[in-house]
């Protein structure tokens, strides 16, 4: 019998203790593949780390602000005297300088300065102080601590953008000012603090990078996301359920399907042009409004949501549909009671990916007028939040990055950190929701 | 063979539950079921046997119109349940499926609790008015499914956490909970081990008291064990239909004989 099988061409396998050439080759190729994988992941991690590092290094300074802190007490006589003068702010500047030199004497700091130097370092202090007292008449006669923001160049000096060697004297800053700044820092009059104004503030003019904040743009982004979520989730999910579960298979649904995939690949700027011509020029919706931005981004997000929802509906095992139908559930009951809950985690993932894309989109917003410099004030309420001109975070970042002053460059990086924080929060919410909906079958 | 069936029909006329005449099923261009005539009696287990792809499952799915969910499937001929044509335009398949329950090849409990699995049917059909009613239906169904003793202490545990055999009995309990008149079973034991199979078979025999059971099976031994009537399908034709004992001991058609003796299939 064994002779017969051998003559039938049985292959000799040899010893199991020695790897044959074929096995060696196979093992070597597997080892190579693993190495490629590790290399690919390392490169990815490296890129990510350098990206995170450069963002944090360039962006974190935007969250710090340098202010001069000085206590001023203004008597009623001083107020009346200053208000009766022709150059009122100049009078307040004098009062400030008086208090300023007192403070310096008190702390034993000796440094030469004049009112021009003060203006170069702290801006128009007289105006700031007068503005405060005219708003708060009760503060007259009481000690008030003023926190006066330093000018962009001075911040640049603190943050290393401006140094003593390369500084060319100009009407913005001269070399001797740096001595004053050093002395004030020594005396704890100039201090750094967390820049809440950056998070809570609005965009400022091109000459005032220090005053620019991303708050208004963040509100704009928030209202846009609200529009996107409220429109694209129900429309997208309803469309996918219909296409996946109810629609007949024919030429028309085939065309619809192909075009949904096509839409997902359309560049976002095309949606911007579409929004401009349809929503603004044809339907006369307000320019630069988060509502319009939300509509444009909804168009952009819909294909993503539909594709991912359909994929997750398809992934629900058909046995669950059969089970429901076999008991006598209607098609709709089987979909809404059984299929949809099982597809929920996938739908949520798709929705969050779509929203994240929309949150980070700037090109279509620029076309419908949601450019950064529009975000100069906060909306008054919900309606004005949707309809009043505003910007969105990515557009704001783009506008800042395009401005000349190095202070804005720093703000742009800071804006990116805020944007990423928003995205991270959204992803965390998505993960939590997904965990809650996830069920085994 | 035809003469035989005419004789039978006369005898069994009183308790015919389902009567199919000239049923043709097409999947696109494929002619899957060719002119099948069969009459299924009430309170009887009827087995459909035959080699893979012979159309027995397809025919079973015609009996509660589950084939409606397949776009390319077309059914011709007449299938009557108690004299009513189920393919009539006025018939709502959803209502039909409440009357003709189905158990599938693979156990497919919903990813919900055991209780909710069984209660789902009664809930959507409005069979229970109060929570107590529902509890009673669930208990009765689980008892009928011969699984009550194993799950009574964990009714709110997930149904998917049960073993394969338990899951299948849960599915049977779920199917009987809506009080169907006919129970269709599509190879209910093919995913189960011999012990679970024996339990399910025993259960099928008990279900016969209340329901007309139609079971599709690959196992001829199973057909012989559980059924009173057997139909042999081959290549879309109903080759032979008769008393189980007669089919297995004295088949009339040479194809039936070849199949049960293991020469084809």
Number of structural domains chain A divides into: 2
- Best B97, B119, B122 residue to mutate vs chain A (most A CBs within 10 Å): B97
- Mean pLDDT in residue range A16-45: 94
**What is residue A105's predicted lDDT score, i.e. its pLDDT?**
83
What token pair was written down for A122? 């702290």
**What is residue A414's predicted lDDT score, i.e. its pLDDT?**
93
Q: Do B110 and A440 touch (CB under 8 A)?
A: no
- Mean pLDDT in residue range A50-66: 91
Residues of B in contact with A324 (CB under 8 A): 110, 120
- Split at pLDDT 50, 70, 90, the class of B195 is confident
My answer on whether A75 and A145 are in the same domain is yes
Lowest mean pLDDT: which of A11-25, A266-280, A299-313, A317-331?
Answer: A11-25
Q: Which of B97, B103, B108 sits opposite A320 (nearest CB)?
A: B108
In a domain, B265, yes or no: no
Q: Which residue has the tokens 């000012």?
A: A177
My answer on whether A81 and A162 are in the same domain is yes
In a domain, A53, yes or no: no
My answer on whether A322 and A424 are in the same domain is yes
Strands B212-216 and B182-186, bridge-based pairing: parallel
- Mean pLDDT in residue range A326-336: 91
Question: B191 to chain A, minimum CA–CA distance in Å?
Answer: 14
Residue A127 reports pLDDT greater than 90: no
My answer on whether A87 and A234 are in the same domain is no
In a domain, A209, yes or no: no
Q: Are B18 and B80 in contact (CB under 8 A)?
A: yes
Q: Do B69 and A337 touch (CB under 8 A)?
A: no
What are the residues facing B41 on neighbouring strands?
Answer: B16
Percent of the residues in chain A that have a pLDDT greater than 90, as a whole number: 42
Question: B142 to chain A, minimum CA–CA distance in Å?
Answer: 15
Q: Do A327 and B178 touch (CB under 8 A)?
A: yes
My answer on whether A229 and A176 are in the same domain is no
Residue A31 reports pLDDT greater than 90: yes
**What is residue A33's predicted lDDT score, i.e. its pLDDT?**
97
Compute the distance between CA of residue A211 and CA of residue A62 in angstroms, rounded to an integer.
Answer: 11
Q: Which residues contact A190 (CB under 8 A, 6 or more apart)?
A: A66, A67, A68, A150, A181, A184
Q: Look up the pTM and report it.
A: 0.80
Residue B260 reports pLDDT greater than 60: yes
In a domain, B175, yes or no: yes
Q: Which residue has the tokens 């000459």?
A: A207
Q: Which of A248, A322, A330 sits opposite B104 (nearest CB)?
A: A322
- What range does the domain containing B87 cover? 2-260
> In what side-by-side order are the strands of the sheet with B182-186?
B100-103, B182-186, B212-216, B45-49, B229-234, B237-243
- Mean pLDDT in residue range A411-438: 89
Query: What's chain B's average pLDDT?
Result: 87
The interface predicted TM-score (ipTM) is 0.84
Q: Which residues contact B126 (CB under 8 A, 6 or more apart)?
A: none
My answer on whether A111 and A168 are in the same domain is yes
Half-sphere exposure of A385 (CA within 13 A, CB side): 14
**What is residue A181's predicted lDDT score, i.e. its pLDDT?**
86
**What is residue A439's predicted lDDT score, i.e. its pLDDT?**
63
Number of structural domains chain B divides into: 1
Would you tell me the crossing angle of helices A115-122 and A125-135 to the nearest 10 degrees?
70
Give me the helices (H) in A328-392, please.
Answer: 331-333, 340-359, 363-367, 382-387
Pairs across A and B, CB distance < 8 A: 71
Residues of B in contact with A322 (CB under 8 A): 66, 69, 102, 104, 108
- Split at pLDDT 50, 70, 90, the class of A15 is confident
**What is residue A44's predicted lDDT score, i.e. its pLDDT?**
97
- CA-nearest of A194, A82, A185 to A132 is A82
- What range does the domain containing A407 cover? 215-437
Q: Which of A132, A163, A194 is the last residue of a domain?
A: A194
In a domain, A151, yes or no: yes
Measured between CB atoms, does A328 come within 8 Å of chain B?
yes
Q: Which of B66, B99, B106 sits opposite A325 (nearest CB)?
A: B66
My answer on whether A293 and A429 are in the same domain is yes
- Mean pLDDT in residue range B167-191: 90
Question: A235 to chain B, minimum CA–CA distance in Å?
Answer: 25
CATH number assigned to the domain comprising residue B11: 3.40.50.300
Half-sphere exposure of A419 (CA within 13 A, CB side): 26
Q: Do B104 and A323 touch (CB under 8 A)?
A: yes
Residues of A in contact with B160 (CB under 8 A): 440-441
My answer on whether A97 and A233 are in the same domain is no
Q: Do B124 and A327 touch (CB under 8 A)?
A: yes
Compute the distance between CA of residue A74 and CA of residue B19 in angstroms, rounded to an integer.
Answer: 105
Question: A291 to chain B, minimum CA–CA distance in Å?
Answer: 40
Residues of chain A numbered 220-249 and touching chain B (CB < 8 Å): 248-249
Q: Do A328 and B97 touch (CB under 8 A)?
A: yes
Residue A107 reports pLDDT greater than 50: yes
Compute the distance between CA of residue A205 and CA of residue B160 in angstroms, rounded to an integer.
Answer: 63
Q: Do A327 and B109 touch (CB under 8 A)?
A: no
CA B77-B78-B81 angle, 5° bins: 160
- Mean pLDDT in residue range A3-29: 77
Measured between CB atoms, does A324 come within 8 Å of chain B?
yes
My answer on whether A285 and A427 are in the same domain is yes
Q: Are A60 and A159 in contact (CB under 8 A)?
A: no
**What is residue B134's predicted lDDT score, i.e. its pLDDT?**
94
DSSP B16-57: EEEEEEEEEEEETTEEEEEEEEEEEETT-EEEEE-STTSSHH
Hey, which of A151-160, A183-192, B85-94 has the most confident mean pLDDT?
B85-94
In a domain, A170, yes or no: yes
Compute the distance between CA of residue B91 and CA of residue A433 in angstroms, rounded to an integer.
Answer: 42
Q: Which residue has the tokens 């069994």?
A: B12
- Best A316, A317, A328, A440 residue to mutate vs chain B (most B CBs within 10 Å): A328
Span B117-150, pLDDT tens digits: 999 999 999 888 899 999 999 999 998 888 898 9
* Residue in B with minimal Cα distance to A333: B124
Percent of the residues in chain A that have a pLDDT greater than 70, as a whole number: 97
Residues of A in contact with B172 (CB under 8 A): none
In a domain, A299, yes or no: yes
My answer on whether A230 and A89 are in the same domain is no
Q: Which of B95, B102, B106 sits opposite A326 (nearest CB)?
A: B102
- Split at pLDDT 50, 70, 90, the class of A298 is very high
Helix (H, G, I), strand (E, B) or coil at B241: strand
Compute the distance between CA of residue A78 and CA of residue A101 in angstroms, rounded to an integer.
Answer: 17
My answer on whether A151 and A254 are in the same domain is no
Residues of chain A numbered 339-358 and touching chain B (CB < 8 Å): 342
Q: Which residue has the tokens 């996830």?
A: A438
Q: Do A327 and B158 touch (CB under 8 A)?
A: no
- Split at pLDDT 50, 70, 90, the class of A4 is very low
Compute the distance between CA of residue A214 and CA of residue A206 in angstroms, rounded to an integer.
Answer: 14
* Residue in B with minimal Cα distance to A329: B94
Q: Are B132 and B160 in contact (CB under 8 A)?
A: no
Q: Which residues contact B72 (CB under 8 A, 6 or more apart)?
A: B27, B28
Lowest mean pLDDT: which of A160-174, B173-187, B243-257?
Answer: A160-174
**What is residue A162's predicted lDDT score, i.e. its pLDDT?**
81
CB burial of residue A65 (10 Å; 0-12, 13-18, 19+): buried
- CA-nearest of B256, B250, B211, B197 to B48 is B256
Give me the helices (H) in A60-149, please.
Answer: 76-84, 88-107, 115-122, 125-135
Residues of A in contact with B71 (CB under 8 A): 248-249
Residue B220 reports pLDDT greater than 90: no
Distances (CA, A) of A257 to A352, A358, B147: 22, 22, 46
Percent of the residues in chain B that have a pLDDT greater than 70, as a whole number: 94
In a domain, A199, yes or no: no
- Mean pLDDT in residue range A269-279: 93
CB burial of residue A74 (10 Å; 0-12, 13-18, 19+): buried
**What is residue B60's predicted lDDT score, i.e. its pLDDT?**
92
- CA-nearest of B100, B40, B107 to B68 is B100
My answer on whether A341 and A425 are in the same domain is yes
**What is residue A236's predicted lDDT score, i.e. its pLDDT?**
95
Measured between CB atoms, does A251 come within 8 Å of chain B?
no
- Split at pLDDT 50, 70, 90, the class of A109 is confident
- Best B61, B63, B65, B69 residue to mutate vs chain A (most A CBs within 10 Å): B69
For chain B, the first-to-last Cα distance in angstroms comes to: 22
> In what side-by-side order are the strands of the sheet with B73-81?
B30-41, B16-27, B73-81, B84-85
Q: Are B86 and B25 in contact (CB under 8 A)?
A: no
What are the residues facing B38 on neighbouring strands?
Answer: B20
- Mean pLDDT in residue range B161-165: 89
Strands B100-103 and B182-186, bridge-based pairing: parallel
Lowest mean pLDDT: which of A13-17, A239-243, A282-286?
Answer: A13-17
Look at phi and psi of residue A253 and say left if phi exceeds 0, alpha if psi is from -120 to 50, else beta: alpha
Residues of B in contact with A317 (CB under 8 A): 108
**What is residue B1's predicted lDDT score, i.e. its pLDDT?**
40
- Split at pLDDT 50, 70, 90, the class of A5 is very low
**What is residue A9's predicted lDDT score, i.e. its pLDDT?**
66
**What is residue A424's predicted lDDT score, i.e. its pLDDT?**
92
Residues of A in contact with B103 (CB under 8 A): 326
């Amino acid at each position: 019998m064994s002779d017969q099988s051998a003559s039938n061409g049985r292959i000799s396998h040899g010893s199991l203790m020695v790897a044959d050439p074929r096995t060696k080759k196979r093992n070597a190729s597997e080892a190579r593949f693993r190495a490629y994988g590790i290399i690919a992941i390392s490169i990815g991690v490296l890129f990510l780390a350098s990206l995170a590092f450069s963002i944090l290094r360039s962006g974190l300074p935007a969250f710090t602000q340098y202010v001069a802190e000085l206590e001023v007490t203004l008597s009623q006589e001083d107020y009346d005297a200053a208000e009766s003068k022709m150059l009122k702010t100049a009078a307040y500047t004098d009062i400030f300088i008086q208090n300023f030199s007192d403070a310096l004497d008190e702390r034993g700091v000796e440094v030469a300065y004049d009112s021009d130097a003060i203006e170069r370092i702290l801006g128009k202090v007289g105006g700031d102080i007068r503005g405060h007292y005219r708003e708060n008449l009760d503060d007259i006669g009481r000690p008030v601590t003023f926190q006066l923001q330093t000018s962009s160049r001075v911040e640049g000096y603190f943050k290393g953008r401006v140094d003593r060697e390369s500084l060319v004297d100009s009407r913005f800053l001269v070399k001797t000012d740096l001595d004053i700044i050093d002395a004030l820092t020594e005396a704890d009059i100039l201090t750094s603090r967390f820049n809440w104004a950056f998070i809570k503030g609005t965009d400022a003019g091109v000459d005032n990078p220090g005053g620019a904040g991303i708050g208004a743009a963040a509100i704009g982004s928030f209202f846009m996301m609200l529009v996107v979520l409220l429109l694209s989730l129900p429309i997208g999910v309803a469309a996918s359920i219909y296409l996946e579960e109810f629609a007949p298979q024919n030429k028309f649904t085939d065309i619809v399907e192909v075009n949904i995939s096509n839409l997902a690949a359309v560049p976002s700027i095309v949606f911007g042009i579409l929004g401009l011509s349809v929503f603004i020029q044809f339907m006369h919706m307000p320019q630069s409004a988060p509502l319009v931005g939300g509509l444009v981004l909804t168009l952009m997000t819909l294909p993503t949501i539909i594709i991912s929802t359909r994929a997750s509906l398809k992934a629900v095992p058909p046995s669950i549909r059969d089970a429901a139908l076999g008991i006598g559930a209607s098609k709709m009951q089987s979909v809404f009671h059984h299929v949809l809950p099982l597809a929920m985690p996938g739908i949520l993932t798709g929705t969050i990916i779509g929203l994240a894309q929309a949150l980070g989109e700037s090109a279509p917003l620029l076309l419908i007028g949601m450019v950064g410099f529009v975000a100069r004030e906060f909306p008054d309420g919900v309606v004005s939040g949707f309809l009043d001109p505003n910007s969105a975070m990515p557009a704001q970042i783009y506008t800042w990055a395009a401005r000349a002053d190095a202070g804005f460059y720093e703000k742009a990086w800071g804006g990116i950190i805020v944007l990423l924080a928003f995205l991270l929060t959204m992803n965390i919410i998505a993960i939590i929701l997904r965990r809650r909906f996830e069920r085994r079958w | 063979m035809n003469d035989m069936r005419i004789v039978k029909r006369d005898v069994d006329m009183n308790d015919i539950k389902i009567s199919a005449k000239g049923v043709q099923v097409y999947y696109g261009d494929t002619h899957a079921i060719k002119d099948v005539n069969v009459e299924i009696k009430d309170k009887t287990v009827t087995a459909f046997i035959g080699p893979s792809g012979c159309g027995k499952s397809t025919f079973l799915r015609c009996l509660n119109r589950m084939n409606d969910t397949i776009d390319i499937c077309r059914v011709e001929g007449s299938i009557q349940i108690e004299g009513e044509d189920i393919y009539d335009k006025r018939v709502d398949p959803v209502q039909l499926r409440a009357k003709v329950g189905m158990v599938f090849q693979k156990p497919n409990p919903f990813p919900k609790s055991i209780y909710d699995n069984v209660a789902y049917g009664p809930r959507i059909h409005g069979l229970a008015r109060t929570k107590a009613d529902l509890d009673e239906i669930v208990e009765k169904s689980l008892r009928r499914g011969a699984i009550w003793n194993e799950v009574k202490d964990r009714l709110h545990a997930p149904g998917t956490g049960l073993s394969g055999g338990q899951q299948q009995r849960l599915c049977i309990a779920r199917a009987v909970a809506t009080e169907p008149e006919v129970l269709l079973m599509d190879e209910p034991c093919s995913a189960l081990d011999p012990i679970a199979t024996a339990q399910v078979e025993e259960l099928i025999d008990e279900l016969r008291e209340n329901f007309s059971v139609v079971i599709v099976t690959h196992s001829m031994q199973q057909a012989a064990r559980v059924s009173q009537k057997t139909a042999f399908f081959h290549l879309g034709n109903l080759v032979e239909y008769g008393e189980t004992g007669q089919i297995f001991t004295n088949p009339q058609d040479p194809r039936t004989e070849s199949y049960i003796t293991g020469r084809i299939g």
